[in-house]
Amino acid sequence: MATGNRKLLALLQRPLEPTFYPKDDGKTVIDLPENYLTERYRPIGDNLQSRFSTDADTRIPVRNVGTPNIAFAEAITRRGGFSLFNEKHRKISGELITLFVNQPDVESLMAVASYARDRLNPMLFQYALSVAIQHRPDTKDINIPSLLQLFPDSFVDPSVFPKAREEGTVVLQENRMTIDIPMSFTASDREEEQRLAYLREDIGVNLHHWHWHLVYPGDGPDQVVRKDRRGELFYYMHQQLIARYNVERFCARLGRVRPLTNLRVPLSEGYFPKIIRSVNNRAFPPRPQNQVLADVNRVDDDVIFTISDLENWEKRISDSIDVGYVEGSNGQRIQLTEENGVDILGNIMEPSSLTVNRQYYGSYHGNLHNIIAYSHDPEGRFLEGYSVVGEFQTAMRDPTFYRLHAQVDNMFHRFKNTLQPYPANQLNYNGVQIQSLAAQLNRPNAPANVLLTYWQRSQVDLATGLDFGPQGNVFASFTHLQHAPFTFRLTVNNTGARRRGTCRIFIGPKTDERNIPLTYQEQRILMVELDKFTVTLNPGSNTIVRRSEQSSVTIPYERTFRSVALSSQPGSEQFRFCNCGWPSHLLIPKGTPEGMTFDLFAMISDYTGDTVNQEFDENVDCNDSHSFCGLRDRLYPDRRPMGYPFDHRAPTNIRTLQEFVRPNTNMALTNVQIRFTNTVIART
């Protein structure tokens, strides 16, 4: 039942239906004050209340707090697009988040949000309310619904929806069939980039990208934006995306993604998304091959900048990296140190209220998105909206997302390359020796260091996103990459007293798409973090066993594709960060049918150099995906730079990963083979 603060969940269902319309399969009705109804419904308010309340089990009365001032947010059209890459939209969302966060209690928040819901852009409203709920102390136990359940059109082939509505309307609940969402529906195999569609168009991947930015918004109250190492997390999460994407490209026998170094050269990659924007039922525009980028002059959208602006911002950032400091808004020089450099640059690259000088450094990352997103209609003469690259929840579908982020990534690498290689005392851990390292499937007599991937068919309930559609559940099935569960096993000898360490596990390709061995400098920026956890080492031999589902990077399937139902119980967990994390089904690369060999790397670092002097239990309060998402209201649980030990260049005499590992007994390397089986297995 919707009681206490959980009544807010009623506002996060079927976002295009009026607030007074029954929620929770018709069991819940929100009773609005008459003056909260929109002009369309106010003259027939009494009739509406009697029509839609007769079968309700729960009524949620809304307090009348007068008419909230939301005029600033109405500047974003209700039936248009909402993009956080649009500076005007971002500022408005920050103001709306502030309005929601500053409400004195849940009853007031419920009232103000109920008034705003039917008057504002649905995506803006859902985003701002979700951020506010995540950051208010009196709503931190609420499970924020998945955007998949609210706006499924952002994730799946729209041909599914007529079938789902027909099934839900004609067939009783117990007899409904599952609707199949086709895999790779956006291009044929004649398009080379289609080989990576399973990753780019994966529902879980795109939900992860959206939810990360929900946890780390760019504007709003300072306590919402100012999170520990926010700028560095922006760098690291996206750096790992590019590393993963390049590794998957090698599996598909494709070369590394080409950074977007020249904006005056046509984009060779086309993309035809074939998804719609439900707020106005218009399709996301396609982009043909060899599209020429142009200055963007979208006056009505307040998105106005030139290619030269982007080039100038890039040069200013690059020049600042080269001289070792950035210019603050008051002309002061802020040094880029090893400790704060990436964090400062991250907050410059993705402008936020933490940016040291937004006017000087501009909006480099955001407008790289925009120049591609508006490339089909840069002046708005055809009244076309932005393409999928213009929204967080759809951007990763387009191949150019990875090109622009490879360029952003290279800016960070430019800074990292100014830092000295780690000295020996920052890499080794005297007295700690990893004597063996292996990964093994969780099945009897499985050979060591052979991992398996395959296709899996899973189901998700789309009913809560089918506005004005059927009640009950309407399930759709989708196919995604999956891996067989496995376990890491390490034998570690400790020649000293009892001590602690941090076990860091990475996987990286040994060769490129042409089967040419990678140098250390090439390989280190392709290393993909699989896990990071604290270990206690007793004197003598220690056996460390760690299951793949315990990864510090991922969240389980159930949290990626969680339900939005009001009746779902939050249990003992707190949900503010619970749904931020890489999807567990994509923990390891796809591999190849014949088996692709990778380097599996493990390191146990000295805990005295890792600790931030706070203890946490990774098994409670959704702390399990801290590598990408940090911890709720706490410091990032690792003092080392993100990506350590591969974030710094090595001395010039280190040519291979083996040479990097050899002097350090606290590191180990082994070959792991990943075999892909082209078989679809249904989730049990």
Q: What is the sign, positive or negative, of the torsion defined by CA atoms of 47, 109, 149, 279?
A: positive
- pTM of the predicted model, to two decimals? 0.93
Q: Which of 208, 234, 235, 196 minimizes the C-alpha distance to 583?
A: 208
Angle of helix 307-323 versus helix 364-373 axis, rounded to 10? 150
Q: Which residues pair with 507 in a beta bridge?
A: 528, 600
Catalytic residues: 350
User: Does the pLDDT value for residue 168 go beyond 50?
Assistant: yes
Q: Which residues pair with 536 in a beta bridge?
A: 500
| Predicted pLDDT of residue 566 | 37
Torsion, Cα 235 238 241 246, to 10 degrees, reads -70
| Predicted pLDDT of residue 16 | 86
- Among 148-162, 199-213, 314-328, 649-663, the range scoring the smallest mean pLDDT is 148-162
276 φ, ψ to 5°? -115, 165
Cα–Cα dist 447/444, whole Å: 9
Rounded to 5°, angle at Cα 259 from 229 and 286: 100
Q: What is the 3-state secondary structure (H, E, C) of 488-525?
A: EEEEEEECCCCEEEEEEEEEEECECCCCCECCHHHHHC
- Among 88-92, 183-187, 650-654, 665-669, the range scoring the smallest mean pLDDT is 183-187
Decide which of 663 and 57 is more confident.
663
For residues 527 and 467, the answer to whether their CB atoms sit within 8 Å is no
For the chain, what is the mean pLDDT? 90
| C-alpha distance from residue 9 to each of 28, 96, 119, 364 (Å) | 11, 18, 18, 36
- Among 133-147, 204-218, 319-333, the range scoring the smallest mean pLDDT is 133-147
| Predicted pLDDT of residue 94 | 95
Taking only the tens place, the pLDDT of each residue in 181-212 is 887 778 988 999 999 999 999 999 999 999 89
Taking only the tens place, the pLDDT of each residue in 486-523 is 999 999 999 999 999 999 999 999 999 999 999 999 99
Decide which of 292 and 146 is more confident.
292
Cα–Cα dist 680/657, whole Å: 35
Average pLDDT (238-254) is: 97
| Predicted pLDDT of residue 673 | 98
Q: Which of 48, 119, 116, 131 minimizes the C-alpha distance to 79?
A: 119
Hey, which of 212-216, 391-395, 597-601 has the most confident mean pLDDT?
597-601
Q: What is the sign, positive or negative, of the torsion defined by CA atoms of 466, 468, 469, 472?
A: positive
What's the residue count for the chain? 684
